Structure formats: C-alpha cells, structure tokens
Amino acid sequence: MVSEEQSFQLGLGNSFPELTVQSSQGELTLPDAYDGEWFILFSHPGDFTPVCTTEFVAFQQRMDEFEELGVNLVGLSVDRVHSHIKWIEWIEDELDVSIEFPIIADESGRVASKLGMVHPEMGSSTVRTVYVVDPEGTVRQLLQYPMEIGRNIDEILRSVRALQTSDEHDVAVPGDWPDNELFGDQVLSKPPSDVETAQARLDSADGDCHDWWFCLQDAP
C-alpha cells in the first residue's frame, strides 16, 4: 500500500494508494472503505458546471446498475465540501435527482495531483478521470476525457461487466462486446501457453477456433 506522503503516478495494475479524505458524506479512507468491493473514483473539473452536472445526474440515474455489479461510486473535484453540498442541493431542487454517492472535497488539490487528475496544460481543475478499482484494491481501468466532453456511462458499465466476466471465467472480450458485429456476445479464449495446447485446439472439433490463437466460446 502506498502512503499519503509518497509521490505516486497511478497506472493500470497499481495498488490504489491509501488516502484519507473529506467528502460530502464525511471522512472516507480509500481503498479500505470498499475493501473486498469494486469502486469507481471519477473526478470532474468543478461544481456548478453544465457538463459535470449532467454527468453526475447520469451516474446517479444508473446507480442501480452499478450496485447490481457490486460497484461503489465516488466523485471528486478541487472544490470545498460546502460547495459539494450546495451543488447536490441544486441538482435535487432543479433536476429532481438526489445524488447518493460521496463526493471528495479536495480543496488543496493534494489528492487530485497525487492521482494524476490535474494536467497543467489544462489549467488547475481536475480533468475528467475515471479509475475502476477491483476488490483487491488494484486499478483495472483508467479513462480520461477532455473538459468539453461528458463521459459515456454505458461504456463504463460495459467495462466493469467485461472485467468481471474476464476475471470469473478466465477469458478476454472482443471489441464492442457484448454487441460485436461479427461475434455477438461470444468471448475469446486466452492464448495457449505451449505448443501442445495450441495443437490440441487445432485438432479439437469443439469450440469455434479460427486458428490456435483465435478461439471463441459462448458467453458465460
């Protein structure tokens, strides 16, 4: 585990660093607060901005789907907790949506800088970053979006489903899964690790192998 005092550039396969933060729902320690569970940490440039508001509403509206996958949501920006609270109130009053997940108040920018969410070329605000973290506290996916473009919640949900399918069944997933134009919701067998296994795949009448390295199987 990486302590708060250490400088750390977070990437795929890294352990999420240990951080104690203030949020709209009180003090939160990551990743311990979600030990044994998936969580998604996503940053936004600022409260009371149009694109960010639509994103937070979209995340909340799909929260049931995230919960079905066992995924917790956590937001973050370099705003004060009072700003988060007022923004949440505005969203509920004006858009009739109640934001139920915590939003980290990173007023100093310490957490955002540590996690690579601030790009100097883009100003001092947090860029639209998404970290997907698995139950072991490992970063499994990293997405970043420009200021002008809101995130696609369908793709984030698809990514989590794909990661969970891959983990549970030891498979890979094709592009555009589960709606691949050629292969539908089929998944890909992991490549063989030796010549004998490769030859066995070619000789087998089972499955759907186009070659020893390209074998499909029905979705689990």
Strand order in the sheet with 139-145: 26-30, 19-23, 103-105, 71-77, 38-43, 128-133, 139-145
User: β-strand 187-189 against 19-23: which pairing, if any?
Assistant: unpaired
One-letter amino acid of 21: V
Distance separating the N- and C-terminal Cα atoms of the chain: 34
| Annotated catalytic residue within 19, 40, 52, 127 | 52
Examine the residue annotation and report whether 209 is marked as an active-site residue of this protein: no
Instruction: Estimate to the nearest angstrom the gap between the alpha carbon of 7 and the chain centroid.
Output: 22
Contact 179, 189 (CB under 8 A): no
Cβ contacts of residue 180 below 8 Å, gap of 6+? 174, 186
Cβ contacts of residue 30 below 8 Å, gap of 6+? 16, 18, 19, 20, 21, 39, 41, 74
Distance between CA 117 and CA 144 in Å, rounded?
Answer: 9
- For residue 77, the SS3 value is strand
Active-site residue numbers? Answer: 52
